[in-house]
């Protein structure tokens, strides 16, 4: 399969020229046959080579311009497809999150389940195990709270944040992969159309096989990795917060309006009709994929913000606070939020002026 994406507009113009040329010849053949039937021309089958060339030229001179106008919308169609988002930018943005994973790998290291990369223990956590020893001489309410509420969950929360980064990175990877495959689909569409025109030109019926959209596999494969990996992420989300159920973490696959595009037809004009339909079907698939990615981002951020889907039986329903969609079905769990970010210690905002207030340490007994 050739890679035409670099010059979609040029390929589209060539395609329109071919449609016009072959349809003109098609119309000429119909006209010659009709003229022979009503007696205004002699039998075209018996013409000499010179006569064939001359008659075709006369017909083409008269009608080519009008016939070409039948196909000019195809150039506009591909004009829209020529500047799809750059997958490289999306993929490199996703990769720029990797250094964050190195930091969040915690005191004992961690594995990125989507790619299998192992991250070594992070130096930032080196002293974590020894904190109680260092603070042996620090006593009191604040010290007790810090030692029992803040230090023990720290590794677990870092672990959860690591997984959250992996999960939130996957939509970027999915979008990058999606546009990479979309470009390939556009390129394949041009090849398949040319092939259908080749068959018309050579007097051959269409081949059986049809063009399978590569984009469908793309998004499912990448975006679903952290959620359907058996015991990996689904289980992770299940145990990360008490309020999160396994089903709440599984995002459904994008709807699949059409997996295959059939570019064929008995005449060049018919082939153009199937091409227009294929482009529409392909765009619908892109929209489905983008909705899938958008919902996945929303569901993930909902989970991290402590909101869970209304029912364990239904697929997770993202909240749409920005568009005023119903959000009442969701339940909120602060415990889940604290699995991703520890509550801010009261000590952090304590000043000499408020230290003895009731919402800080209060007055000593």
Partner 1 sequence: MSEMGRHLDTLVVSATTPDETASATLHGRTRVTVSLASGYYAYTTDDRLADKLAQLGRLLWVARMQEYYRFKSEQLGRQVRGEGAPRTPAQSERREARDNIVARGVSHDGAVGLAAVGLFTWTASVAPGTARRSSEEEFCSAAGQAAEQLIEDHLWNLALVWANGAR
Positions touching partner 1 (CB under 8 A) are: 1-2, 14, 18, 25-27, 29-30, 32-33, 44-45, 47, 49, 52, 191-192, 194-195, 197-209, 266-267, 270
Please report how close the Cβ of residue 202 comes to partner 1 at its closest, in angstroms: 7
Please report how close the Cβ of residue 207 comes to partner 1 at its closest, in angstroms: 5
Please report how close the Cβ of residue 264 comes to partner 1 at its closest, in angstroms: 9
Nearest-10 Cα torsion for 327, 329, 334, 336: -100
Integer Cα distance of 63 and 56 in angstroms: 11
Output 124 or 214, the one with its CB closest to partner 1. 214
Output 56 or 131, the one with its CB closest to partner 1. 56
CB neighbour class for 146 (10 Å; exposed up to 12, middle 13-18, buried from 19): middle
Output 208 or 365, the one with its CB closest to partner 1. 208
User: What is residue 325's three-state secondary structure?
Assistant: coil
| H helical segments located in the chain | 8-37, 49-69, 73-81, 87-95, 98-103, 131-134, 141-145, 151-201, 215-223, 225-228, 233-240, 268-304, 334-340
Output 52 or 156, the one with its CB closest to partner 1. 52
Output 17 or 349, the one with its CB closest to partner 1. 17
Output 155 or 262, the one with its CB closest to partner 1. 262
Please report how close the Cβ of residue 50 comes to partner 1 at its closest, in angstroms: 11
Output 55 or 155, the one with its CB closest to partner 1. 55
**Distances in whole angstroms, Cα of residue 135 to Cα of each of 127, 131, 149, 151:** 12, 6, 14, 11
Integer Cα distance of 140 and 350 in angstroms: 15
> What is the per-residue burial (b if ≥16 Cβ within 10 Å, else e) of 231-250?
ebbbebbbebbebbbeebbb
Output 197 or 223, the one with its CB closest to partner 1. 197
Task: Tell me which DSSP letter residue 246 carries.
Answer: S
Please report how close the Cβ of residue 113 comes to partner 1 at its closest, in angstroms: 33
Please report how close the Cβ of residue 39 comes to partner 1 at its closest, in angstroms: 17
Please report how close the Cβ of residue 29 comes to partner 1 at its closest, in angstroms: 3
Beta-carbon contacts of residue 55 (< 8 Å; ≥ 6 apart): 28, 32, 44, 47
Please report how close the Cβ of residue 257 comes to partner 1 at its closest, in angstroms: 22
Total Cβ atoms within 10 A of residue 90: 20
């Amino acid at each position: 399969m050739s890679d035409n994406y670099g010059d979609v507009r040029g390929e589209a113009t060539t395609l329109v020229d071919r449609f016009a040329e072959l349809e003109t010849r098609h119309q000429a053949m119909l006209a010659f046959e009709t003229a022979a039937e009503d007696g205004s021309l002699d039998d075209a089958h018996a013409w000499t080579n010179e006569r064939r060339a001359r008659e075709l030229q006369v017909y083409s001179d008269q009608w080519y311009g009008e016939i070409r106008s039948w196909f000019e919308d195809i150039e506009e169609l591909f004009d829209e497809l020529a500047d799809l988002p750059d997958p490289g930018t999306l993929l490199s943005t996703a990769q720029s999150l990797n250094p964050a994973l190195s930091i969040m790998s915690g005191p004992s290291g961690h594995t990125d389940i989507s790619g299998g990369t192992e991250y070594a223990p992070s130096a930032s956590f080196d002293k974590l195990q020894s904190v109680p020893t260092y603070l042996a001489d620090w006593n009191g309410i604040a010290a007790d709270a810090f030692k029992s509420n803040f230090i023990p969950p720290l590794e677990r929360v870092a672990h959860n944040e690591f997984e959250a980064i992996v999960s939130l990175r996957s939509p970027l990877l999915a979008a990058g992969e999606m546009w990479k495959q979309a470009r390939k689909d556009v390129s394949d569409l041009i090849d398949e159309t040319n092939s259908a025109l080749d068959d018309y030109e050579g007097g051959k019926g269409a081949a059986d096989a049809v063009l399978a959209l590569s984009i469908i596999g793309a998004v499912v494969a990448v975006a679903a990795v952290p959620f359907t990996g058996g015991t990996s992420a689904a289980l992770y989300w299940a145990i990360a917060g008490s309020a999160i159920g396994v089903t709440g973490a599984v995002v459904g696959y994008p709807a699949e309006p059409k997996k295959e595009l059939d570019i064929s037809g008995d005449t060049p004009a018919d082939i153009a009709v199937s091409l227009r339909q294929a482009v529409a079907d392909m765009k619908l698939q892109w929209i489905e994929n983008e909705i899938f990615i958008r919902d996945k981002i929303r569901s993930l951020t909902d989970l991290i913000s402590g909101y869970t889907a209304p029912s364990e039986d239904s697929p997770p329903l993202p909240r749409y606070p920005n568009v005023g969609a119903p959000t009442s079905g969701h339940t909120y769990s602060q415990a889940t939020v604290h699995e991703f970010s520890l509550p801010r210690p009261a000590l952090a905002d304590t000043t000499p002026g408020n230290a003895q207030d009731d919402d800080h340490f209060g007055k000593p007994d």
